[in-house]
Structure 1
Amino acid sequence: MPAHPDLVAQNAQFTKKIHHIAGPVYSAVGYAASNVHFLVGEAGIVLIDTTETTQAAENIFADFRKISDLPITTIIYTHSHRDHISGATVFAEGRDVEVIAADNFMSDLVDVDTTRPAPNAALMTRTKRHFGISLAPDERISVGVGPGDRPMKGMGAGYIEPTLRISQTTQMTREGFDLELAKAPGETPDHLVVWWAGERVLFSGDNFYHAFPNLYAIRGTPYRDFDAWADAMDQLMAYEPAVLAPGHTQPVLGQEAIKAALTDYRDAIRFVVSHTVEGMNAGLDPITIAADLKLPEGLRDKPYLQEFYGHVGYASQAYFAGTLGWFDGNPTSLGKLPAAREATKFIALTGGAAAVADAAKQALAEDDTQWALELADRLIAADSNASTGRAIKIQALHIMADRTVNAPTRNYYILAARELREQDS
């Protein structure tokens, strides 16, 4: 299926391989959305993260057993997102193992309070669209920070509860490795980074990967603290690592290359904050602020800041909502009409559903696909010539999916189009 060539090229990051990154340390990349890191000691192995499914864990472990047959004795979770914690039982092989995490290890995917109302169905629907779950491998080019062809059997099934929780920077020795575990909130508040000074290797979790950071996930997430994430880059740089082993994409090698990447990552986050705050203080709404927002020269062309996963415009809108809330400052928005009511009035004003449908078709012909989507949405919301609206929207979504470099957006467009098609089948 067609896709933006830069997004296709990003697949080079996901070549399935167990990388030897330093000394007795290895990183499994390309087997699933997230990486698994092995620190091989004399009598056992320290494992950092466990991937997203039991099937992926089994595939990784089978290949790693060609390198070492030592048992896993310690597992460290960098954070609580499901794609990092779901293969632990496979690596434990039925033994009791030490499992280490931050003391605030919890997210929208782990330790959810089931006694309180939660948008679980909405989150699941949007998560499937975000990651392109149910798309064929040739449809799902990638997830932005992981391969498109991912084993899905056992998703979330292999989680083991932590046995040790870290509340502050902690020095520990495991299997001969003198390690430092430090809290470093970024993509999640519960992030831990792991530092092995012996070969100057830093395991950064999802605080860095080879794509613009996912400051807001369109699957739906609580507000992510932009300033904390930017500060984490300074925290990582202070180690002066020679090897950076991220939770997604390939390792970064060389102290200068790592410093440059982390500096640019930090500056990109801070730019989004400063640009958005400038617009907020000028009284602009979040859509206007985010429209056509681009990173400044010197950052926008960096390979690890391309919008394969995170998106600059989405991030800006998330910062607005996370700091000022949903209200855009326009008093009209305080009593805004529901979509169906507004659409009915709009269609009547423009001369009827046929006129709106013709305008939407014209927008498609003129390559104004976003306007075509918005017109189609009014037909659908008002249930007036809705089947034509769905057909136009499906066509526009596929055009936009082919053009975007952002993998979650592409997946979301394609699956949303499929769902619309199924309504009329």
Structure 2
Amino acid sequence: MNAPAFPENQQKTAESAFGLFSAGQARHIFSRAHGSGLEPVVVEAAPRTFYIQPGMVNVALFETAEGLLLVDCGCAGDGPALLAAVRSVSDAPLHTVVYTHGHSDHAFGLWAFLEAGERPRVVAHENVPAHFRRYMKTAGLNARVNGQLPGPDGKTWASEESDFVWPDETYRDRLTLTLGGERFELVHGKGETDDATWVWAPDRRVLAAGDLVTGYLPNAGNPRKVQRYAEEWADAADAMAALRPEVIIPGHGDLVRGAAAIQDELGAMARYLRHIVAHALDGLNAGRTPDAIVESLRIPDDLARHPRLRAIYDRPEFICRNVVRRYGGWWNGHPADLLPAPAAARAAEIARLAGGTAVLAARARELQDTDPPLACHLAEWAFLADRSDPVAQECYVDVLERRAAAEPSLMAQVNFRVSRQWVAEARREGR
């Protein structure tokens, strides 16, 4: 396949995929007191159409004769900065807000507008309320998985109905909004979530995609999150491409401009995801184990090297496992793992056979540069065999940290570093 005619611009836009990222805000995602601390980016993407980046996510603003249509509203802490950014370009009333999905970084900044006296209607897919209720039900889990710290109110995650601005109106498949005589098409698609909406403004040739477009490999395989939908994500990419938009305001990262660049990106995204889905299903239908399916996955070079599909957040292997989980369940196919011995008991027996945890730890360090995956197993066995052993603790943290530091995928980095949490817990237990 020939290289795209616009690689320099694609590479440039991909470099800002995580927006105005603030580690402090990321650790207090539901705190209204924690914004990004950075100056919001405001760009007129098309006439009366604005791309606003108040923090790590993007917001689309459409100005109409009847008022403003806002697509997403950022994290809770983005609210004041987003309000100021909107008012810097228009003093028209906020008429309607659309949530592209119910994630913590996209649907929680609206409180600032409400406190300022705005009373917009809020529209979302019919699954968004269930998404919010799941957040409430799993607040402790989500806070831990997302590395959250307590905010000024002591809370780490949204857990009460008053923490949410609930939709006033929901829809199932498609919904047409008319503002100031202009149509805005809301279309449901599954991808990172089952409650996703993308918004098409046909008169402006602008599409607000939410997290169905992000400037990096789709987050369709997050290892510690609920089911993702790679197959339907590809369908959504095709549906968006069929409209031939000239501008896409993505959920994260820079604007995507130009019909050719958009067709290239959406087409490549759909092919990438379908390649993984087909590989996983072929393996399941052939009776292969999940590990064998993932280990044999190969991504075509033109897709693996696409500048706007880099594996800097998710990984193709994780997406593949998510497809396997969806169609084939949670079991890894190994009979001994169906009702296994406790992990600590297995590790202790391996350590006994090897000659002790020190032997396992030493071998892990020997292999950490030449065979990082095997080194991680050895280090983990040493630690699990004796959680109180300082040598095993140090080895476990060091080997997994080395693996994380060499890993481009944020999801892999974060989860390799769970080793730090486990060791910290073991040290607290030993006091």
Compute the TM-score of the two structures, normalised by the length of structure 2: 0.82
Residues 395-423 of structure 1: per-residue CA shift (max 9 Å, x gap) = 12221222111123223434642663575
Q: Equivalent residue of 2:338, what SS?
A: helix
Q: How many angstroms does 1:181 deviate by? A: 1.4
Equivalent residues in 2 for 1:306-385, closer than 5 Å: 306-364=310-368, 366-383=369-386
Judge conservation of contact 1:46–1:175 (CA < 8 Å) in 2.
Answer: no
Bigger RCO of structures 1 and 2 (CA < 8 A, at least 6 apart)? 1
Judge conservation of contact 2:249–2:255 (CA < 8 Å) in 1.
Answer: yes
Q: How many angstroms does 1:175 deviate by? A: 4.0
CA distance in 1, matches of 2:231, 2:364: 41
Cα 1:369/1:330, change in 2 over 3 Å:
closer
Equivalent residues in 2 for 1:44-63, closer than 5 Å: 44-53=67-76, 55-63=77-85
1:21 to 45, 48, 52: 45
Letter in 1 for 2:305: D
For the pair 1:209 / 2:187, whether they are aligned, the reply is: no
Taking only aligned residues, the RMSD between alpha carbons, in angstroms, comes to 2.8
Q: How many angstroms does 1:101 deviate by? A: 0.8
Match of 1:41 in 2: 64
For the pair 1:124 / 2:127, whether they are aligned, the reply is: no
Judge conservation of contact 1:268–1:295 (CA < 8 Å) in 2.
Answer: yes
Residues 157-185 of structure 1: per-residue CA shift (max 9 Å, x gap) = 86311111123422221245321112222
Letter in 2 for 1:171: T
Q: How many angstroms does 1:11 deviate by? A: 3.7
Judge conservation of contact 1:26–1:38 (CA < 8 Å) in 2.
Answer: yes
CA distance in 2, matches of 1:87, 1:28: 13
CA distance in 1, matches of 2:198, 2:253: 16
Residues 367-401 of structure 1: per-residue CA shift (max 9 Å, x gap) = 43332221121122222663222211211222122
Residues 6-50 of structure 1: per-residue CA shift (max 9 Å, x gap) = 99x834763652121111010112x32221111122452111101
Judge conservation of contact 1:361–1:392 (CA < 8 Å) in 2.
Answer: yes
Judge conservation of contact 2:387–2:423 (CA < 8 Å) in 1.
Answer: no
Q: How many angstroms does 1:331 deviate by? A: 2.5
CA distance in 1, matches of 2:16, 2:127: 34
Q: Equivalent residue of 2:105, what SS?
A: helix
Match of 1:224 in 2: 228
Q: How many angstroms does 1:213 deviate by? A: 0.6
Judge conservation of contact 1:208–1:246 (CA < 8 Å) in 2.
Answer: yes
Cα 1:352/1:368, change in 2 over 3 Å:
same
CA distance in 1, matches of 2:425, 2:135: 34
Letter in 2 for 1:170: L
Cα 1:411/1:335, change in 2 over 3 Å:
closer
For the pair 1:193 / 2:193, whether they are aligned, the reply is: no
Equivalent residues in 2 for 1:75-224, closer than 5 Å: 75-92=97-114, 93-106=116-129, 108=131, 110-112=132-134, 120-128=139-147, 133=148, 159-221=164-226, 223-224=227-228
Letter in 1 for 2:271: D
Cα 1:304/1:51, change in 2 over 3 Å:
same
Structure 2: segments with no counterpart, 5+ residues: 1-10, 21-39, 150-154
Compute the TM-score of the two structures, normalised by the length of structure 1: 0.83
Match of 2:3 in 1: none
Q: How many angstroms does 1:312 deviate by? A: 0.3
CA distance in 2, matches of 1:415, 1:63: 37
Q: How many residues align?
A: 390
1:72 to 94, 100, 119: 94
Judge conservation of contact 2:129–2:167 (CA < 8 Å) in 1.
Answer: no
Match of 1:276 in 2: 280
Judge conservation of contact 1:390–1:420 (CA < 8 Å) in 2.
Answer: yes
CA distance in 1, matches of 2:156, 2:119: 20
Letter in 1 for 2:171: I
Judge conservation of contact 1:87–1:159 (CA < 8 Å) in 2.
Answer: no
- Segment of structure 1 superposing worse, 208-217 or 272-281: 272-281
Judge conservation of contact 1:402–1:410 (CA < 8 Å) in 2.
Answer: yes
Structure 1: segments with no counterpart, 5+ residues: 1-5, 135-152
CA distance in 2, matches of 1:13, 1:359: 37
CA distance in 1, matches of 2:268, 2:327: 24
Match of 2:55 in 1: 32
Cα 1:158/1:74, change in 2 over 3 Å:
farther
Q: Equivalent residue of 2:95, what SS?
A: strand
Letter in 2 for 1:97: P
Judge conservation of contact 1:88–1:160 (CA < 8 Å) in 2.
Answer: yes
CA distance in 2, matches of 1:346, 1:413: 22
- Segment of structure 1 superposing worse, 298-307 or 348-357: 348-357
Q: Equivalent residue of 1:170, what SS?
A: strand
Letter in 2 for 1:285: T
CA distance in 2, matches of 1:181, 1:76: 9
CA distance in 1, matches of 2:295, 2:383: 25
Q: Equivalent residue of 2:344, what SS?
A: helix
Q: How many angstroms does 1:333 deviate by? A: 2.6
CA distance in 1, matches of 2:134, 2:248: 31
CA distance in 1, matches of 2:56, 2:123: 21
Q: How many angstroms does 1:103 deviate by? A: 2.0
CA distance in 2, matches of 1:10, 1:415: 27
CA distance in 1, matches of 2:169, 2:16: 36
Match of 2:32 in 1: none
Q: Equivalent residue of 1:96, what SS?
A: coil
CA distance in 2, matches of 1:112, 1:12: 28
Match of 1:140 in 2: none
CA distance in 2, matches of 1:97, 1:273: 40
- Segment of structure 1 superposing worse, 309-318 or 175-184: 175-184
Judge conservation of contact 2:17–2:253 (CA < 8 Å) in 1.
Answer: no
CA distance in 1, matches of 2:187, 2:273: 21
CA distance in 1, matches of 2:358, 2:412: 30
CA distance in 2, matches of 1:28, 1:65: 12
Match of 1:403 in 2: 406
Letter in 2 for 1:370: P
CA distance in 2, matches of 1:419, 1:65: 47
Letter in 1 for 2:373: Q
